[in-house]
Amino acid sequence: MTPSSFSTHRPLRAARTRTRLALAISAVPLLALTGCSANSDATAAETGVIDYWLWDTSQLPAYQQCAEMFEAEHPDQDVRITQTGWNDYWTKLTAGFIADTGPDVFTNHVSQYPQFVELDVLAPLDEHPATAALDPDDYQEGLVDLWTGPDGHQYGVPKDWDTVAAFYNEKLIADAGLSPEDLEGWTWNPEDGGSFEELVAHLTVDKNGVRGDEPGFDKDNVAVYGLGLSDAGGSTTGQGQWSGFAASNGWQVTDEPLWGTHYNFDDPALHETLDWFFGLSDKGYMPAYGQFNTADGPIGQLSSGSAAMVLEGSWMISTFAANEDLPVGTARIPVGPDGTSKSMLNGLADSIAKNTDNPEGAAQWAAFMGSAQCQQAVAKAGVVFPARKDATPIAADVYRQKGIDPDPFLDPVEEGNTFFFPVTNHGADVSALTGPAFEDIWANRVPGSTLTEINDAINILFDTDQTDDS
């Protein structure tokens, strides 16, 4: 992207946007900005170049294959893919918006894109013929809605989707005298945990070989936890931890499924869910706070045999399948008090930067990534569930061939028992407030009701928005 393109087309708006972006990442090291600027000089004038950024290394080979197919159809375009790890990705991306050195197209996340919409750095898809021509019905239900802003414009081509379920060590299940059928139809409730807690207790084994549901169990010296955990709540809503339990207990994250303006962290249904869930640590059935490194994640706990079962997203299927020494089964999240098994639904998308100097090529590439040709190639790689309906069965078959049953991830979508990852303004502020609070509930076992005060602070942000608008 040329350094002048943004200011040439939108001088006043660009100045305001740059200032707000700069404030948003005031802590970004100068080195990050300098590195981005240096990279842009060599390609600034290459309007046939499409810079595409993503963070997932496992998806890189599949999208490189898509790039080669795209270039064969568009010989005047050259797709250059840059992969950056999640922890640095957003800092680098925001810095790129400031310096006009970012990508033309990039993988976007629903937790980030509301801020980008507010800052006016994303191109609405209906501005470009290639992306405007995409058919919303080709994608899994809800994914286009997820990427439609409050102004009615769509800001991302659906890329993939994910849900959450349980992965378990088949050997440890068998050693406990259980079968996969015992994990079907299991239930939970906030009073005694239901059959789910009974099973978790039985899978827990102390260092003397005593199980969690047997007399003499030593909860302070556990060899195998029935349920693994290394993160208190994914910063905002417990996507891969407790969100499904809370939802089946009647909790809704916000007042509206998408673009809500009021959070519900003050809901007693959430409080009692969290008190029960983290109470599993008190009983020795689940690790205590800080016992396992977050970087190791649940896969490390399951692989090492320190946990018999973990809750994780479908994005981890290929990772678990790659471990040939770990026989892994899958099961749905337990049925809750409302009589359903629920899972949070999230979906990534590819967004076009408004300040791209190659708008036609960027839109063609974004549209191609959402096409059957590319998404079916991604499906065959077996790394994610692609967004297109026609590609999902292909990915599911690949997972089955790898020895992982995908149905616990597919069933909530097919049954309509999913709820959206929250899409709201002030995402970074919400995360900054809730992340430490969830950790406090787990680490210090403060009651879930302490979230009420934090909820009030969060909703003041939205009240201020309405005051400003008036």
User: Per residue in 233-291, pLDDT tens?
Assistant: 876 799 999 999 999 999 999 999 999 999 999 999 999 999 999 999 999 999 999 89
Query: Do the beta carbons of residue 37 and residue 103 sit within 8 Å?
Result: no
Q: How many CA atoms lie less than 13 Å away from 188 in the CB half-sphere?
A: 28
CB 462 within 8 A of CB 262: yes
Q: What is the C-alpha to C-alpha distance for residues 192 and 190, in angstroms, rounded to an integer? A: 6
Burial category of 406 from C-beta neighbours within 10 Å (exposed 0-12, middle 13-18, buried 19 and up): buried
Read off the pLDDT band of 16 (50, 70, 90): very low
| In the predicted structure, residue 158 carries a pLDDT above the cut 60 | yes
Helical spans, DSSP H, in 166-267: 170-175, 194-203, 243-247
What is the C-alpha to C-alpha distance for residues 216 and 238, in angstroms, rounded to an integer?
Answer: 33
Kindly report the CATH number that applies to the domain delimited by 164-345+422-469.
Answer: 3.40.190.10
What are the two backbone dihedrals, phi and then psi, of residue 147, each rounded to the nearest 5 degrees? -105, 20
The residues spanned by each domain of the chain are 5-162+347-390, 164-345+422-469
Tokens, residue 332: 């749905």
Structure confidence by residue, pLDDT tens digits, 314-337: 999 999 999 888 999 999 999 999
How far apart CA 466 and CA 9 sit, in angstroms, is 30
Please choose, from the candidates 85, 25, 424, the residue with its C-alpha nearest in 3D space to the C-alpha of residue 236: 424
Q: According to the 3-state scheme, what is the secondary structure of 58-81?
A: HHHHHHHHHHHHHHHHCCCCEEEE
pTM of the model: 0.88
Predicted pLDDT of residue 4: 27
Q: What percent of the chain has pLDDT over 90?
A: 81
What confidence tens digit (pLDDT) does each residue in 74-130 have? 999 999 999 999 989 999 999 999 888 999 999 999 989 999 999 999 999 999 999
Strands of 105-108's sheet in order across:
78-83, 49-54, 105-108, 349-352, 157-158
Superfamily (CATH) of domain 5-162+347-390 = Periplasmic binding protein-like II (3.40.190.10)
Domains 5-162+347-390 and 164-345+422-469 share a fold: yes
Average pLDDT over residues 383-395: 97
Mean pLDDT for 298-318 is: 93
